Structure 1
Amino acid sequence: MKKRRWKKMTALSLLFIFFSSNHIPAEPLPQDNPDETQEENEIEIEEPKNLYALSACLMDADSGRILFGKEEDVRRANASTTKIMTLIVTLEHADLNNVVTFSDYAASQPDVQLNGASGEQFLLKDLCFSLMLESHNDSAVAIAEHVAGSVEAFAGLMNEKAAELGCMDTYFITPNGLDKEDENGFHGTTAADLARIMSYCIKESPMKETFLEITQTPSYSFSNIEGTRNYSCNNHNRFLTMMDGAISGKTGFTGNAGYCYVGALRRDDRTYVVALLGCGWPNNKNYKWSDTKQLMQYGIDSFEKVNLLELEIPKEAECPLEISGAKTEGYSRIKMTEVQNRTEEKQIENILLRKDESIEFKLERKQRLEAPVEAGTTVGTLKYILNGQVVREEELVLKDSVPAWDYRYSCLRMVDLFSL
């Protein structure tokens, strides 16, 4: 009899303890240690030096990561490198088989010119080769007027695209890149923004293949619609033959901008973009080539492509959770699941890491949850950190549902205890 009374008292005591605390004990949570990193390679990396350009940027075109910068966020005049934006906006908004008529204003543009006459007509496709291979200023204006109705409206399209790409330090006024200023500022961009625009043109735009086809063409010949005049264009992007893997580029020069260049190179599964602003003035037009080669070689020699999804995730990403009011047998663990893009920004999977760099992980999780908790509930985030910057963020979710300790379950537990 005493033994039976002792069992009942024990059961009641256990239930009292549960309802007074309203949570189950949990194993100690592992402490976050953001300072723990992958083993670092003791490698001496020498960065580019003695560059001629006032502003320079080397970018990983796949991830958008800046691999090297020199005043890369300073806005400067950028001359005819503007025309990569002119071309991509044209390709995305117009049919290349359209017929373009030169206006008086287009025909009045300064050198370098196609020398199209007012009223003369051309295929839009032919003018795109004129724009990119010979950098004709009159063709740029004729294209802009055809696509948007006016130069001002076309500049609006260019600035909209720049904002869409995150180029917040860019302001375009002309489609040809000639120096100009208005009440909103001067025509120009930064080396970083220019590299972003080129990365978009060759990697993300739905018209990237046509963009590459035009900018890679060595020479091109065409005539006006009437067939009364013939024109020939030659590509002035010497970088295409300077390094294996060079795939695109555009030169530029004005008195304010100096010599400018933006170019792209693809080696194996890596794509690099270099942007240079203010890279010398006459008679130093070859500085841009030496700077470009030095930056590209630095990228090739010093960086390796890493798939973030293949990195070993720290064991803390599967850890006990403290869930108030949960059934003990429902006590669960969390695991990695599919990426939830909460910032509506593109999630990086592959990134170029310098050979002396490594990824750190930071786990942020909810310390307490109230049962019941459904499977798939977000309980934390795992951040991939490179040099203090988050380059990828993934959600952690509950693997299994955790039911609550409810009245029915309490009764069943009491019956179990009383039957001992």
Structure 2
Amino acid sequence: MKRIVSFIVMSFLLISVFVPSTLAREEGVDLVENVKSAILIERDTGTVLFEKNSHEQLPPASMTKVMTMLLIMEALDKGKLSMNEKIRTSEYAASMGGSQIFLEPGEEMTTKQMLEGIAIASGNDASVAMAERLAGSEEEFVKLMNKKAKELGLKNTEFKSATGLPGKNDHSTAHDMAIMAKELLKYEEITKFTSVYESYLREDTDKKFWLVNTNKLVRFYPGVDGLKTGFTNEAKYCLTATAEKDGMRVIAVVFGAPTSKERNAQVTKMLDYAFSQYKTHPMFKRNMSLGQVAVSKGEKKRIEALTSEPISLLTKKGEGLEHIKQTVILDKNIKAPVKKGDKVGVLKLEQDGKTLVESPLVAKESSPKASWWTLYKRSMGMFTKAGS
């Protein structure tokens, strides 16, 4: 059983707007060339605006770190990790080759500094150090990566490493990488790292290290603020990019470009297409409260239900929305324990009986099982009220 709270958004609040009955990529649009696969999506709705071989399994190279960063941001959001916590570098982490920030065995950096090393400089050593902190070993962290991929419904992705280094045989697709990026961008703070073009680590020491973003579009394309490049001899030049303009955020993914210049050119084409042809209509920000749920036998009797992601509707430019029905469905029979972030309901946006958006609502905070003494006091309080 569920409790349903419905809100009808009156048309006078959405003047001169209409949602087409269907909105998807246009057939016949040929945006990219000289790449093995590509996809372009709008972040909030996940609508595919363009794709080319988007389900072909290919090596993602360092784009693997999109998932690594996602698990780090999840741990931060759930309070399992803090930005100021010092992370120790093992000998194994320090031994990583390829892109690195040259961590030494035993060296400590904060989570914030490690994230800078991963997001800006694609540090393999920093990625493994964080993997070991979160799961005890890179091997165990990879299990978490694949578990998360399964949760997201990614059927063509399998990780073998936290880094994407050659020889590990990680594989993914443009479609799956876009979904991972969509999930990562729920944590808006990540772009504070991925948008930085240059920075420094160990700035006040004689081992000052200059970080330069491997994603040059953050400097040369207005609105680009992430996310991750990739290159190996096998994978060629890859990029998962995101940009925001006029309230619309899009994600563009390219696998297998022959040069970094070509990679950036093809992503630029996709971004230009999205911003010239489409418009986002924001409806809800992430972490907005849409009601409360009762928690049976919980330490907290009621918990707020929050939006789990930014929620928008998408139209072609010049078109808009009207007669949008919002329905908040809150789970009724929730039993303790409840963890922060657990699903406790659903928000639906509908037009003429068709669901346009269905997004989970999540618990604002945790509610462990109440002690027997707490439950006893509650029951006595109920009896007292009943007898008064």
Decide: shared fold, TM above 0.5. Answer: yes
- Partners of 1:297 and 1:83 in 2: CA distance: 26
- Partners of 2:319 and 2:173 in 1: CA distance: 26
Preserved contact between residue 123 and residue 224 of structure 1 (Cα < 8 Å)? no
The reply to whether residue 245 of structure 1 matches residue 228 of structure 2 is: no
- What whole-Å deviation, never above 9, does each CA across 1:319-371 have from its counterpart, x for those lacking one? xxxxxxxxxxxxxxxxxxxxxxxxxx999974334469999xxxxxxxxxxxx
Shift of 1:383: 6.8
Q: Which residue of 2 aligns with 1:351?
A: 313
User: What is the letter of the counterpart of residue 132 of structure 1?
Assistant: A
SS in 1 for 2:120: helix
SS in 2 for 1:252: strand
The reply to whether residue 53 of structure 1 matches residue 35 of structure 2 is: yes
The reply to whether residue 198 of structure 1 matches residue 181 of structure 2 is: yes
The reply to whether residue 214 of structure 1 matches residue 197 of structure 2 is: no
- Partners of 1:146 and 1:175 in 2: CA distance: 12
- What whole-Å deviation, never above 9, does each CA across 1:291-316 have from its counterpart, x for those lacking one? 111111111122234689xxxxxxxx
- Partners of 1:248 and 1:129 in 2: CA distance: 12
Preserved contact between residue 347 and residue 392 of structure 1 (Cα < 8 Å)? no
- Percent identity, please: 26
- Partners of 1:50 and 1:173 in 2: CA distance: 29
Shift of 1:58: 0.2
The reply to whether residue 290 of structure 1 matches residue 265 of structure 2 is: yes
Q: Which residue of 1 aligns with 2:242?
A: 264
User: What is the letter of the counterpart of residue 195 of structure 2?
Assistant: Q
Preserved contact between residue 78 and residue 188 of structure 1 (Cα < 8 Å)? yes
Q: Which residue of 1 aligns with 2:286?
A: none
Judged with a 3 Å threshold, the aligned counterparts in structure 2 of structure 1 residues 358 and 269 are, in CA distance, closer, same or farther, namely closer
- What whole-Å deviation, never above 9, does each CA across 1:19-65 have from its counterpart, x for those lacking one? xxxxxxxxxxxxxxxxxx9799xxx9972344222110000101011
- Partners of 2:193 and 2:159 in 1: CA distance: 22
Preserved contact between residue 75 and residue 189 of structure 1 (Cα < 8 Å)? yes
Shift of 1:265: 1.0
Judged with a 3 Å threshold, the aligned counterparts in structure 2 of structure 1 residues 357 and 149 are, in CA distance, closer, same or farther, namely same
2:44 counterpart (44, 47, 62) = 62
Judged with a 3 Å threshold, the aligned counterparts in structure 2 of structure 1 residues 382 and 267 are, in CA distance, closer, same or farther, namely closer
Preserved contact between residue 102 and residue 116 of structure 1 (Cα < 8 Å)? yes
User: What is the letter of the counterpart of residue 262 of structure 2?
Assistant: Y
Shift of 1:273: 0.5
User: What is the letter of the counterpart of residue 279 of structure 2?
Assistant: E
Judged with a 3 Å threshold, the aligned counterparts in structure 2 of structure 1 residues 247 and 158 are, in CA distance, closer, same or farther, namely same
Q: Which residue of 2 aligns with 1:235?
A: 213
- Which structure has more strand as a fraction of its residues? 2
1:84 counterpart (62, 66, 88) = 66
Preserved contact between residue 73 and residue 184 of structure 2 (Cα < 8 Å)? no
- What whole-Å deviation, never above 9, does each CA across 1:117-137 have from its counterpart, x for those lacking one? 222222222121111211121
Shift of 1:85: 1.7
Shift of 1:234: 1.7
Q: How do 1:10-409 residues align onto structure 2 when only pairs under 5 Å count?
A: 47-93=29-75, 94-181=81-168, 186-202=169-185, 204-205=186-187, 208-209=188-189, 211-223=190-202, 229-280=207-258, 284-305=259-280, 350-354=312-316, 391=356
Question: What is the TM-score normalised by the length of structure 1?
Answer: 0.60
Q: Which residue of 2 aligns with 1:404?
A: none
Judged with a 3 Å threshold, the aligned counterparts in structure 2 of structure 1 residues 273 and 153 are, in CA distance, closer, same or farther, namely same
Structure 1 unaligned runs (5+)?
1-36, 309-344, 360-380, 394-420
User: What is the letter of the counterpart of residue 36 of structure 2?
Assistant: L
Judged with a 3 Å threshold, the aligned counterparts in structure 2 of structure 1 residues 251 and 39 are, in CA distance, closer, same or farther, namely closer
SS in 1 for 2:29: coil
Shift of 1:257: 1.2
User: What is the letter of the counterpart of residue 218 of structure 1?
Assistant: Y
- Partners of 2:266 and 2:20 in 1: CA distance: 33
Preserved contact between residue 127 and residue 143 of structure 1 (Cα < 8 Å)? yes
Kindly name which structure, 1 or 2, has the bigger radius of gyration based on alpha carbons: 1
Count how many residue pairs are aligned between Structure 1 and Structure 2: 284
Shift of 1:196: 1.3
SS in 1 for 2:96: coil
Provide the aligned C-alpha RMSD in A. 3.4
Structure 1 moving runs of 4+ over 4 Å: 37-40, 345-349, 354-359, 381-385, 390-393
Preserved contact between residue 80 and residue 250 of structure 1 (Cα < 8 Å)? yes
